[in-house]
Amino acid sequence: MSSLATEAAAPPAPAPTPPRPRRRRFPTVPWLLLSASILILGVLTGYPVVRMLIMSFQEYERAQVMGMPADWVGLDNYVAVLTDSGFWAVLGRSIVFMVVAVTLTMVLGTLIALLMMRLGKKMRLLVAVGLLLAWSMPPLSSTTIWGWIFDTEYGLVNNLLTRVTGDRWFGHSWLLDPLGFFTILTFIIVWGAIPFVAFTMYAGLSQIPGEVLEAAQLDGAGAFARFRLVMLPYVRTIVTVLIVLSMIWDLKVFPQVYALQDIGGDREKTNTIGVYIYQMGMGQGHFGTASAIAFVFVAIMLLLSVYYVRRTIKEEEL
């Protein structure tokens, strides 16, 4: 503790204690303070990444888990993955889903933010309360709720459709058809993701000076023109960051897909990349192949996040 004290004193107040010889010494104290973090992140993030890389170049199956030595197979796992139509189907599906979900989230989230700008205090609070409630739901809870709403037997949707159309919808399965499965998945994800986008956009939009918007209005700019030409340029960085983050979140979606498959989806036809890695590794024991896929996945994620990381570094003036 006393060493912390002297070190901390050194940079701002050089007067009282004269620790001159310390200057060139290794900065022990900060590294000591960081040591626990470095240890944990090194062992439980750094090492797993390395381990994943190594496994991706090995033949690593159930036998290797039991203790058989793992053979090096070079790029075989990668070749197997990249030439497997199953992998491309999963990747394509994940990306299409991501694009649809992010687009819907951004558009609807922005519209709700614009709505909140127009509302009076009370109504805005009402909308905020609704958004907060949806936002705070744990993913697995919200998945079960939507699963129940679209339940095959007596789900609300089937019940209402029977009443409205006059046909019997009881027994109609929404999840069995992959398209229906992904529609419901989109409901779950977009419903849960809109609040963050809406609040952030609202916070951003409400910082635009009122005179600017008024001036545009006086110049005869319609609502859409005002949004596109005045508001959007102001919040462009926020929009970009929101898109990047949403892309990352929607691409790695896991519990929602996995639980929906439990409720009644066809696993083969509805896997997204995260779930696919789980099935390949934990389910079928192809740890080597799963690691190769995981590495491709990590590479995609890091590529996606480059903009976000760069902007944050600039923003924080690091």
Partner 1 sequence: MNRARTADLEPAAPPRRPEAVPTAGTKIRRSPARRVKEAGWGLVAILVFAVFVFPVYWMLNTSFLPNNRIRGEEISFFPTPDVFTLDNYRSAMFSEERAPFGPAVLNSISATFITLVVCLVIGFVASIALTRFTFKGRRTFIILILVIQMIPGEAMIISLYRIIDGWALINTIIGLSLVYVAGVLPFTIWTLRGFVAGVPKELEEAAMVDGCSPAGAFWRVTFPLLAPGLVATGIFAFINAWNDFVLALVIMQRPDTMTLTLWLRTFLMVTQATNWGAVMAAAVLVAIPAVIFFLIVQGRMSGGLVAGAVKG
Of residues 93-112, those binding partner 1 (CB under 8 A):
112
Burial of 2 (0-12, 13-18, 19+ CB in 10 A): exposed
| Single residue of 153, 222, 223, 284 touching partner 1 by CB under 8 A | 153
Of residues 122-151, those binding partner 1 (CB under 8 A):
123-124, 126-127, 129-142, 144-149, 151
| Single residue of 24, 44, 85, 121 touching partner 1 by CB under 8 A | 44
Of residues 253-292, those binding partner 1 (CB under 8 A):
254-255, 258-259, 262-263, 273-274, 277-278, 281-282, 287, 290-291
Q: Which residues pair with 72 in a beta bridge?
A: 58
State how far the alpha carbon of 114 is from the alpha carbons of 74, 119, 133, 202, in Å: 54, 9, 20, 7
Of residues 203-222, those binding partner 1 (CB under 8 A):
203-204, 207-209, 211-213, 215-221
Min. distance of Cβ 89 from partner 1 in angstroms? 18
Min. distance of Cβ 115 from partner 1 in angstroms? 6
Binding window for partner 1 (CB under 8 A); candidates: 23-31, 75-83, 84-92, 173-181: 23-31
Min. distance of Cβ 102 from partner 1 in angstroms? 16
Size of the site for partner 1 (CB under 8 A): 132
Of residues 50-89, those binding partner 1 (CB under 8 A):
51-52, 55, 65
d(CA 54, CA 75) in angstroms, rounded, equals: 11
